[in-house]
Structure 1
């Protein structure tokens, strides 16, 4: 008789202090949706175990999902995230390449943000000038 997903999760929790999650649990815990998790799986970013048709996520997949969500919040594309994740092997090989990629990409992102900040500062200065001049003109008319 096949083991049910619920009994699989329960058995692994009891034996390994909570090292597996169902998709709904994982979504709630990491403040995302089951749909998003399935999407990341369809893009090859996650590879959960299956018990029948039910997805079961271990610590590795949970850590990968946390990394995906953080990388997305920082503006990385799914292609960049996949390339980063694919560098890391089963036994940790590729970690140096991952770190090199992080150093390079974060440097690029910092430069992009600094350029945007410079543009914003320039626009703010121009708007402040226009406001001051407009206020002066308005004040002169009220006298």
Structure 2
């Protein structure tokens, strides 16, 4: 019986959402609109002291496109957030073209490694859109939600 409880505890601990980013996720290289390379850690540092609403999306994805109206509404209701958009488009050029149809405003970055890099693996990125809430110190408050909801406020 003791082993049963141990297995349950280990299972529940493995399902818990992380509260901090791994070093490898923080050091993942992503690209700016000007195709400059920065790390995800630098994005968090640029926004230190502010709550961050982050969306992982792809401009070609219909579900991501549908989510932008909800994101716009959230932006209007929560102007105190920094808005960070991380794209997993097929290529940098597809992403740049697709941004013409993205309604929300904020900081836009392209993840060249998509879900296969350290950041994607850390996030267990299997579907998009994906939303995160990050506190003023860069800690994760909401690790995974597939829609804009009250738990992001």
Task: Give the alignment's TM-score, normalised by structure 2.
Answer: 0.24
Task: Give the alignment's TM-score, normalised by structure 1.
Answer: 0.25
The structure where strand makes up a greater share of residues is: 2
Q: RCO higher in 1 or 2 (8 Å CA, sep ≥ 6)?
A: 2
The structure where helix makes up a greater share of residues is: 1
Point out the structure with max Rg over C-alpha: 1
